[in-house]
Amino acid sequence: MKLNKLHIGNLFLVTAIIMLLLGLGFGLLAAFIYLYPNFLKDSIGFISLRPLHVSSAMFWIILGATGCVYNGLRVVTNKPITNRVAIMQWLLWIISIIGIFISYFTHQFGGREYWEFNPVWALPIAIAWLLFLSNFYSHINNVRKWPVYMWMWLTGLTFFLFTFIENYLWLFPYFREHFITDMTIQWKVNGSLVGSWNQMIYGTAFFLMDRISGTKKVGKNNLAFAMYFLGLFNLMFNWGHHIYTLPTEKYIRYIGYIVSMTEWVFFVKIIYNWKGAVSDIQKHYHYFPYKFIMASDIWVFINMGQACLFSIPAINIYTHGTHVTVAHAMGTTIGINTMILLAACFEFLKPDLYKETSLKALNRVFWFLQISLVVFWTSLNIAGIKKGLWQLSNPQSSYSKMMDSLEPYFITFIIAGFGLFVSLSIIAYKLLKHSKKSIFN
């Protein structure tokens, strides 16, 4: 097979969609354990299902972002990107994913939260990322006057590698022996890693806006650059808002607090400016990419409001360690990242929907997805607020009694989760159905 026949960006996107499907399945199984504690308890159990769900979801985002950057780079440089380095990068990811999943199924853990696999599987990921970075650098030399999304991609790529390595400092006893420093670094890493892939995904959103509007104005205006630097500033310094209750240095918490308050402000404004610039013809031509970008816009607004509120420590004390945090994580992962990635998948994979499927039917799925997410997000928030009030109550009932009182919200969250599973699976199926054509030119 000739390398130039293979579309590496789309290969990454298709791999990412498969991870999305797996993540949905594992997530649904894990959610059942909230209602039926004995469900799969003595076999795979929650201790495996949770990392299987979280890792699959993260790989959906990371591989999806990788696919978007490769697709974008192909357009910006106007030349094919596929080469041996890119193929090797993809193979290293596949080796790592298989190893990680086997280790989860066989209860061979060793890493810390969100990266629970044995650290040995982090090595192929780190090498794959080095190859990605070198491939990116080798292709951008001749591009003049970088639009903002190229800066965002470069930032995401660079800081992901830095924080991913930092994520393994606990391997050294020097760090591990100091619990508070170790926890501080863990949440510094978590904050910056999310910021890194957000740079890649939001960069893709800007790229798509330029492409859909056909103006190339979004990626080069001053406001977009201001927004980018604000995002970068937050990636570097806002993570302190995760650890207000940790007895670490005051300045870390104050920096986290102050920087968090600057978050998101420009992003919404840019999207609204862009919305006005898109004509009806362009909306029709890029129908689903446009729809998913607009959905992400609404979810940015909702999550921005929530994030700004609970980045205030006096409010954070009520929500910290509760399902409000889960609602926020799900709201941003599904509502923002997944919506932008789906917009990109529709744009780059170009599924032939107009011939086989009535647009009306897929539209219904789109709205079913949004409604399911609203119910899902709301039920988690209510459960979180109830737990928050319990945490501050005096005298306090037992933990298990408090969890039992949350059952109605967990039932709602599972039903809504099933709605997300169905709607996202239908969309993923439609995208995958014709994917062979989009991978092999």
Residue nearer to other proteins on the CB measure, 42 or 280: 42
Contact window for other proteins (CB under 8 A) among 235-243, 268-276, 291-299, 364-372:
235-243
Choose which of 18, 21, 33, 414 interacts with other proteins (CB under 8 A).
33
Q: Is 305 in the site for other proteins (CB under 8 A)?
A: no
Q: Is 243 in the site for other proteins (CB under 8 A)?
A: yes
Residue nearer to other proteins on the CB measure, 191 or 289: 191
**28, 371, 422, 195 alpha-carbon torsion, rounded to 10°:** -60
- Each residue 328-367 as x (binds other proteins by CB under 8 A) or -, in order, gives ----------------------------------------
Q: Is 184 in the site for other proteins (CB under 8 A)?
A: yes
Q: Is 112 in the site for other proteins (CB under 8 A)?
A: yes
Q: Shortest Cβ distance from residue 28 to other proteins (Å)?
A: 16
Contact window for other proteins (CB under 8 A) among 58-66, 93-101, 105-113, 432-440:
105-113
Q: Which of residues 7-26 bind other proteins (CB under 8 A)?
A: none
Q: Is 232 in the site for other proteins (CB under 8 A)?
A: yes
The closest of 129, 138, 146, 134 to 63, measured between CA atoms, is 129
Q: 43-82: string of b/e by CB count within 10 Å (b at 16+)?
A: ebebebbbbbbbbbbbbbbbbbbbbbbbbbbbebeeebbb
Contact window for other proteins (CB under 8 A) among 60-68, 124-132, 236-244, 367-375:
236-244
Q: Which amino acid is at 81?
A: I
Q: Is 257 in the site for other proteins (CB under 8 A)?
A: yes
Q: Which of residues 365-394 bind other proteins (CB under 8 A)?
A: 391-392, 394
Choose which of 37, 120, 359, 371 interacts with other proteins (CB under 8 A).
37
Q: Shortest Cβ distance from residue 399 to other proteins (Å)?
A: 4
Q: Which of residues 154-183 bind other proteins (CB under 8 A)?
A: 155, 166, 169-170, 173-183
Q: Is 229 in the site for other proteins (CB under 8 A)?
A: yes
Q: Which of residues 308-327 bind other proteins (CB under 8 A)?
A: 312-318, 320-323, 326
Q: Is 109 in the site for other proteins (CB under 8 A)?
A: yes
Contact 237, 259 (CB under 8 A): yes
Contact window for other proteins (CB under 8 A) among 3-11, 108-116, 268-276, 351-359:
108-116
Contact window for other proteins (CB under 8 A) among 16-24, 29-37, 371-379, 420-428:
29-37
Q: Which of residues 45-104 bind other proteins (CB under 8 A)?
A: 45-48, 50-51
Q: Which of residues 275-304 bind other proteins (CB under 8 A)?
A: none
Q: Shortest Cβ distance from residue 92 to other proteins (Å)?
A: 24
Q: Shortest Cβ distance from residue 112 to other proteins (Å)?
A: 6
User: Which tokens is 227 given?
Assistant: 């927004």
Binding residues with other proteins: total (CB under 8 A):
79
The closest of 407, 411, 387 to 399, measured between CA atoms, is 387
Residue nearer to other proteins on the CB measure, 84 or 176: 176
Choose which of 129, 206, 237, 376 interacts with other proteins (CB under 8 A).
237
What's the farthest any 2 CA atoms get from each other in the chain?
Answer: 70
Contact window for other proteins (CB under 8 A) among 37-45, 71-79, 202-210, 366-374:
37-45
Q: Is 399 in the site for other proteins (CB under 8 A)?
A: yes
Q: Is 220 in the site for other proteins (CB under 8 A)?
A: yes
Choose which of 2, 145, 355, 360 interacts with other proteins (CB under 8 A).
145
Rounded-to-integer distance, Cα 70 and Cα 211, Å: 15
Contact 156, 200 (CB under 8 A): yes
